Amino acid sequence: MSKEREFKELNVFGFYQKRLSLLLFLSTIPSCILSFRFLYTVYEPEFHCDVPAALSENNINVTESKYEYLLNVTVPWNTNDKQELVRSECFNYDMYGIDTLTNESGTGWVVNNTSPCKRWRFAQDGVSALTEFKFVCERAWMKPFTFTVYAVGKMFGTCAVGPTSDKFGRRVVFLVLIALQYIALLLLSFSTSAPMYMSVVVLTGVVDTVYPPAISLGTEFASTEKRTFITFCAQMGYSLGFLVLTFLGYFFRDWRWLLRAFSFTALLYIPYYWLIDESPRWLSSVGREEESQRILSKIAKLNKTHNIPSHDLEELETNLSGSLKNEKVKSLKFFEVLKLVLKQPVLLKRLIIVFFAWYCTSLTYYVIELQQFVGKSFFESLFIGTCRHCCNCGLLSNLC
């Protein structure tokens, strides 16, 4: 009897595996929120320079017409890409004798020289971290940089989650990552400064790595022919996250309350502590046979195969663990596996092809999804914004 036939006869993909597929489907929803919250948290509304602070303090209670007059004499008018006249986003006129500039006759105290402005007026106040922490003009490079530090954190998290799940188990890492995702988002909503905001963004990237343990849990509970379906469920949960993010973004226009509202949905995942079991494959690989047998018995009971003979249950354990029951399994570490792959030209070639394909698809995916990241294309925002900062700092001055 082949292994796959034994899986079918023992009803391996029964109620338990179907329930697990649903749980994994729901568990990947937060990953989308973590990846694409930038569309809301660093949303850039229309803005322009405001009246300088010294002049504004001297004219606290002014009429709307007087305020418009102060804007006209302190903020230059420029032509945008649509050939429309708009107030300057980054520069104020240099002024002398600000105390005298209290009526229209004071325009003589304004000269044509300009200097970077320190205050801005946004079309919508307090809608994003960008408007609160002023990621504009000379600090505009910080907008794309927020996604960069998130990606760096995710890179480190991805490198760590594999060895960690091999060390402590798929279930433990899976549940801890789900909890940390919500804690990180809640902490991000209480950011009080740009450095704190950037630091927590790195943390959100580190914990946004629930996929590896989730997919490992699913595939190690099912037969080979059902592993594609398990992976599909995890990916569809990510897609559902787009709808959840859009729904919450519609009702919560303030970025802080958007993150807090989503953090409260963590209560829905509390039952996972009792519904998710450890992988029998992993338990067998570390010599915890009794726990593996107990979980397999639970699976057989929920799949209504609790009357199967004991030797069939042992065969099921053998198939799920991938080894004989009494055979000692040696787990290879990450670098040992990498060393074996590098020694095999065919595997190395396939690994390079998979990496390149993943790079291309991910790059295209994020470009399409984040094209409105800062009101321009993602690449334009990322590279032009960063290069502008480098030019202002004197870096890459020859290229600028």
Total number of domains constituting the chain:
2
pLDDT tier, 124 (very low <50, low <70, confident <90, very high otherwise): confident
Same domain, 218 and 318: yes
Separation between Cα atoms, residue 215 and residue 222, nearest integer Å: 11
Same domain, 184 and 219: yes
pLDDT tens digits for 62-116? Answer: 667 777 877 877 888 888 777 788 888 888 887 654 444 544 444 445 556 788 8
pLDDT tens digits for 20-64? Answer: 889 999 988 888 888 888 888 888 888 888 887 766 655 556 667
Same domain, 39 and 52: no
Same domain, 158 and 80: no
Last residue of a domain, one of 67, 93, 123: 123
pLDDT tens digits for 185-221? Answer: 999 999 999 999 999 999 999 998 888 888 888 888 8
Same domain, 39 and 58: no
Same domain, 19 and 79: no
Separation between Cα atoms, residue 136 and residue 275, nearest integer Å: 47
* pLDDT for residue 316 is more than 70: no
CA-to-CA separations, 172 to 148, 165, 210, in angstroms, rounded: 28, 8, 11
Among candidate residues 302, 274, 223, 280, the one with its CA nearest the CA of residue 15: 302
- Specify the DSSP element, H or E, that contains 206: helix 194-207
Same domain, 31 and 53: no
Same domain, 15 and 146: yes
- Segment among 155-159, 199-203, 248-252, 385-389 with least mean pLDDT: 385-389
Is 366 within a domain? Answer: no
Is 351 within a domain? Answer: no
pLDDT tens digits for 348-383? Answer: 888 889 888 888 887 777 776 666 554 444 444 444
Decide the pairing of beta strands 110-116 and 91-95: antiparallel
Instruction: Let me know: does 51 contact 87? Beta carbons within 8 Å.
Output: no
Same domain, 178 and 291: yes
Is 85 within a domain? Answer: yes
HSE toward the beta carbon, residue 99, CA cutoff 13 A = 0
The domain in which residue 273 lies consists of 3-43+136-342
Last residue of a domain, one of 342, 366, 387: 342
pLDDT tier, 315 (very low <50, low <70, confident <90, very high otherwise): low
Separation between Cα atoms, residue 155 and residue 298, nearest integer Å: 36
Backbone phi, psi, residue 343, to 5°:
-85, -10
pTM: 0.75
Is 400 within a domain? Answer: no
Separation between Cα atoms, residue 131 and residue 382, nearest integer Å: 18
Same domain, 184 and 146: yes
pLDDT tens digits for 328-345? Answer: 445 566 677 777 878 888
**Length of the chain (residues):** 400
Last residue of a domain, one of 123, 157, 174: 123
Which long-range CB contacts under 8 A does 73-80 form with residues at least 24 apart?
Answer: 73/101, 73/106, 73/107, 73/110, 74/49, 74/110, 75/48, 75/49, 75/50, 75/51, 75/117, 76/114
pLDDT tens digits for 218-254? Answer: 888 877 778 888 888 888 888 888 888 888 888 888 8
Separation between Cα atoms, residue 18 and residue 28, nearest integer Å: 16
Is 107 within a domain? Answer: yes
**CATH code at position 325:** 1.20.1250.20
pLDDT at site 11: 52
pLDDT tier, 391 (very low <50, low <70, confident <90, very high otherwise): very low
Is 293 within a domain? Answer: yes
Is 329 within a domain? Answer: yes
Describe the crossing of helices 29-36 and 227-251 by its angle, rounded to 10 degrees: 50
Is 188 within a domain? Answer: yes
Same domain, 146 and 242: yes
pLDDT tier, 388 (very low <50, low <70, confident <90, very high otherwise): very low
> Three-state SS string across 232-268, please?
HHHHHHHHHHHHHHHHHHHHCCCHHHHHHHHHHHHHH
Same domain, 32 and 59: no
